[in-house]
Amino acid sequence: MLSILIPEYNCDCTRLVRDLSEQCIQERIDFEILVLDDASPDFPLENHNLSFIPGCVTTRNEVNVGQASCRNRLAKMARFPWLLFLDSDLQVQDDMFIKRYLEVLGTSNVVSGGLATSPEISDARRMLRWKYGRKRECIPALIRNQNPWKSFFSSNMLIEKSVIERIPFDEQFKDYGHEDTIMGYRMKGQGCSILHIDNPLLHLGIDLSDHFLAKSLTAVEKYFDLPIFQSEELVKEVRIFNVYRLIVKFKLDGLVAWKFGLLRKMLRKNLLGSHPSLFWFDFYRLGYLCQKARLQTI
């Protein structure tokens, strides 16, 4: 009935797998939990015990290929018609997680459960990622369903195997940024249906602020690196790229790039501090995009 697919890299996912296994057994369903380690240089010792958890099968890549490729490989390995994709740095919050998905099984091609973040964080070095998650990712299903494909997160997603076979994850994406946007855009174009429900998992993998900022700039660079983002229709799905196009249209990109150059050190200090501003985070990424675009034309 259900294949639970977890790509993993340097992450102890023992508790997640154990909780999922116990809930599936409680619901008396046929299931499997497939964990694929993407050539972690320091494979967590705890994960060596995953194969002793009922229903769990583990395998390992010889070389690192990225999450999209891992997800496609897991989908091919899966035995059942419904696939539950989960990131490895998530935590089950109650004993109803599997049951909530089973209650809507078959009502839509895709079901997105959403994400949750701890209501507080004590490590100021991780404040930017925590605040971004709280404000931008932890969205109730009622709101997500208003614009379903823009609120799509593959990190906690139930999907028909036949859909993944037709629309696999784009393996151009080896690192952070916009993978879900592309996936949602392609599924929407193929007429797939999506339902958002309130069934979040708790996100534990809160990056250090400097790591998250660097990853966010890598995501911005995909505007230039991936030809698919030259599509006007797709650009509208990514807010920062859409704003950038408007700035260029009104010939303000030079001003934004100049202002970013003046403020960059001050903004970075704010973003890596204990009270980061998401407004300045957005401006930082936009300014970086304008500056990079102008440098490329020189």
Give me the mean pLDDT over the 104-125 stretch. Answer: 94
**Closest by CA position to 39, among listed 59, 68, 14:** 59
Q: CA torsion sign, 286 to 291 to 293 to 294? A: positive
- Quick count: other Cβ atoms within 10 Å of Cβ 31? 23
pLDDT level of residue 226 (50, 70, 90 thresholds): low
Q: How far apart are CA 237 and CA 263, in angstroms?
A: 28
Residue 16 pLDDT more than 90?
yes
For 188-221, write each residue's pLDDT tens digit: 888 999 999 999 999 998 999 999 999 999 888 8
pLDDT level of residue 67 (50, 70, 90 thresholds): confident
DSSP code string of the chain: -EEEEEEESS---HHHHHHHHHHHHHHT--EEEEEEE---TT--GGGGGGGGSTTEEEEE-SS---HHHHHHHHHHH--SSEEEEE-TTEE--STTHHHHHHHTTTSSSEEE--EE--S--S-GGGHHHHHHIIIII---HHHHTTSTTTT--TTEEEEEHHHHHHS---TT--SSSSHHHHHHHHHHHTT--EEE-S--EEE-----HHHHHHHHHHHHHHHHH-GGGG-HHHHTTSHHHHHHHHHHHTT-HHHHHHHHHHHHHHHHHHHTSSS--HHHHHHHHHHHHHHHHHHHH-
CB-CB contact of 3 with 84 (8 Å): yes
Residue 47 pLDDT more than 80?
no
For 240-274, write each residue's pLDDT tens digit: 888 988 998 899 999 999 999 999 999 999 999 99
Q: Where are the domains of the chain?
A: 2-203, 209-297
Overall fold of domain 2-203 = Spore Coat Polysaccharide Biosynthesis Protein SpsA; Chain A (3.90.550)
pLDDT level of residue 231 (50, 70, 90 thresholds): low
Region of residue 114 (left: phi > 0; alpha: psi -120 to 50; beta: else) = left
